[in-house]
Amino acid sequence: MVRFTADHKVYIKILYWGMANSGKTTTVDTLYRLTKENEKDIAPTGNLTKISMASGSTLYFDRGIFMSTKQKSRGKVFYHVYTVAGQRRFSPLRKKIFKGTDGVIFTVDSQTHFFEDNIESLKELKNITRGKLIKEIPIIIMLNKQDLTEVIGEEDFKQVLKDEKLWFEPEDKLYRWNPIIYPTCALYEKRSNVYRSFSECARRTGLYQIYGDGEAPIGDNIKDFREF
């Protein structure tokens, strides 16, 4: 839930969702490192909180807080970035962690043999959001682990989105808000599209609040919507 405070601070919650082992924790780790080491539009504040098992798999959630480095005159934006625990048994937990989410980055394990598990995870998300995805909650797709062989591509996942009614045709007013599908690698050394996919989700989340009052903005009055 976006919160605006009297001292011009804005709080936005962004959630990484996806099947176990798809790379959510790795992504937030990489996002943290790269925004700490390089000058970007966001910078981490404090440390990452990771609650995981000995195996490295997330037990409860991860959380990192990032602050906008732009928009100084208009106040600060704080992004509370969470990951869910992807293992099946943590489904009730995921529902709790989801509460108050403003934007979702759906993290796919692109290896072909996990195709169905990714769809199951997407269906669970749809179930929790009850028709709010795209309309009220922007969603961005990371096709992660593209550095591996035997992986699915953008067209394969676009078909999944169509089947799940998360894809709009050009004549539909929500067409502009179709999820962007980014081929990614979350590993720090080989990172690809980690920052870009986050910043696009952050940007859309801001636009939904500023121009759409919590919904996907419709119409031509968003001329400068690249600015956010």
Ligand X SMILES: Nc1nc2c(ncn2[C@@H]2O[C@H](COP(=O)(O)OP(=O)(O)OP(=O)(O)O)[C@@H](O)[C@H]2O)c(=O)[nH]1
Catalog residues that contact Mg ion under the rule CB under 5 A.
24-25, 58
Among 77, 97, 133, 186, binds ligand X (CB under 6 A): 186
Tell me the closest approach of the beta carbon of residue 225 to ligand X, in angstroms: 30
Query: Applying CB under 6 A, does 145 fall inside the site for ligand X?
Result: yes
Binding mask 83-122 for ligand X (x = CB under 6 A): x-xxx-----------------------------------
Residue choice 180, 187, 210, 222 for contact with ligand X (CB under 6 A): 187
Place of tokens 């409860």: 60
Q: Which residue is nearest to ligand X (CB)?
A: 86
Which one of 41, 136, 147, 164 is in contact with ligand X (CB under 6 A)? 147
Q: Specify which residues 16 forms β-bridges with.
A: 83, 105
Shortest CB 121 distance to ligand X, Å: 9
Q: Is 24 in the site for ligand X (CB under 6 A)?
A: yes
Asked if 126 and 26 touch (Cβ cutoff 8 Å), the reply is no
Letter string b/e over residues 21-36, b meaning 16 or more CB atoms within 10 A of that residue's CB:
bbbbbbbbbbbbebbe
Angstrom distances, CA of residue 228 to CA of 16, 115, 199, 209: 21, 34, 10, 11
Residue 202 is which amino acid?
A
Whether the CB-CB separation of 199 and 79 falls below 8 Å is answered with: no
- For every residue of 178-203, DSSP letters joined together read PPPEEE-B-SSTT-BSHHHHHHHHHH
- Tell whether residue 13 is a contact of ligand X (CB under 6 A): no
Q: Is 84:24 a contact under the CB 8 Å cutoff?
A: yes
Q: How far apart are CA 60 and CA 157, in angstroms?
A: 27
User: Which part of the chain contacts ligand X (CB under 6 A), choosing from 37-45, 122-130, 185-193, 208-216?
Assistant: 185-193
Q: Is 148 in the site for ligand X (CB under 6 A)?
A: yes
Per-position DSSP letters for 61-78, written without gaps between them: EEEEEEEESS--TT-EEE
Q: Which is nearer to ligand X, 64 or 86 (CB)?
A: 86
Residue nearer to ligand X on the CB measure, 24 or 40: 24
Per partner kind, with CB cut-offs from 5 to 8 A, the member of Mg ion, ligand X, none near residue 101 is none
In the list 14, 15, 21, 139, the residue contacting ligand X (rule: CB under 6 A) is 21
# chain residues binding ligand X, by CB under 6 A: 22
Positions in the binding site for ligand X (CB under 6 A): 18, 20-26, 56-58, 83, 85-87, 144-145, 147-148, 185-187
